[in-house]
Amino acid sequence: MEQQNFNMPLLGDDFPSLTVQTTQGVMNLPGDLKGSWFILFSHPADFTPVCTTEFVGFQRLMPEFEKLGVKLIGMSVDQVFSHIKWIEWIKEKLGVTITFPIAAANDAIANALGMLHPGKGTNTVRAVFVVDPKGKVRLVLYYPQEIGRNMEEVLRAVKALQISDANNVAIPANWPQNELIKDHVIIPPAKTVADAEKRLQQYEGYDWWFCHKAL
C-alpha cells in the first residue's frame, strides 16, 4: 500500500496560506490576521462531549486572550452548518455564547496542517497552532481524540512567548509559579568568559549559566 505524505508546519515555519469557510464568513489565513497573534485549534467533531468542554473552556478565557491581542479560530472537518447548529446548542443548553469563528476544514486543509493522522481514523486530531504577528508558527500541540486540552496552558504559553520575545529571556517550567525561581525569567547564557565572570554580579542565580531576574 502506498503511504501518504502528511505535512505538518514546524516551529519557525510560515503558517501555510489557507482559505477557509467559517461561521463568520470566509477567512484567508494568515493574511487576514497579519499583525496579530492567533491560535488555530482543531477538534475531532461537533456534538461530541470532550470537544464541547474545550469550546466552553476557550470561550471563558476569551477576555484573557483578548488582553494579549490573540485571536481564536476553531476548526474541524464538519461543515459550517454543523458548526452553526452546535454553537446554537451550546448557547441554549449551556448558556455560553461562542464568539470566535469555527472553520470547516476539507481533507486538503487538514492534511496541510498535519491534522489527519492515519492511525487515529478520519477525524482531525486535537491540534493547536500558535502563530505570531509575522505569520510564523511558534508553538504546536497535538492531543489524541480521547484527551481534552488544558486551555490555561495554552494561555500561559502565549503569555510566555510574548514575554520572551519582548525581553529576550527564557521562561522556566511551570512559570509563573516555578519551584526554583517563582515568577522570575531566565537570562540568556553568557557568550564570553568576561560575561560569565560578571553574571552573578549583575543578576540573581545559582551559577553564571543559571541566572534570573524579575520582569
Residue bearing cell 531576574: 213
Give the closest residue to 91 by CA, choosing from 177, 14, 23. 23
Give the closest residue to 101 by CA, choosing from 132, 125, 73. 73
Residue 27: give the domain boundaries: 18-149
CATH classification of the domain holding 95: 3.40.30.10
What integer pLDDT is reported at residue 6 of this predicted model? 53
- The answer to whether 51 is a known catalytic residue is yes
pLDDT digits (tens, 9 = 90+) for 100-137: 999 998 777 777 777 665 555 555 668 899 999 999 99
- Looking at the fold, whether 32 and 138 belong to one and the same domain comes out as yes
- Looking at the fold, whether 34 and 134 belong to one and the same domain comes out as yes
What whole-number percentage of the chain has pLDDT above 90?
A: 75
pTM of the predicted model as reported, rounded to 2 decimal places: 0.89
Total domains in the fold of the chain: 2
What integer pLDDT is reported at residue 109 of this predicted model? 76
Tell me how far apart the 2 most distant CA atoms of the chain are, in Å.
Answer: 65
Confidence band, pLDDT 50/70/90 cuts, at residue 184: very high
pLDDT digits (tens, 9 = 90+) for 6-46: 577 889 999 999 899 999 999 999 999 999 999 999 888 89
Residue type, 24: Q
Whether the Cβ atoms of residue 130 and residue 164 lie closer than 8 Å to each other: no
> Which is catalytic among the residues 33, 51, 158, 160?
51
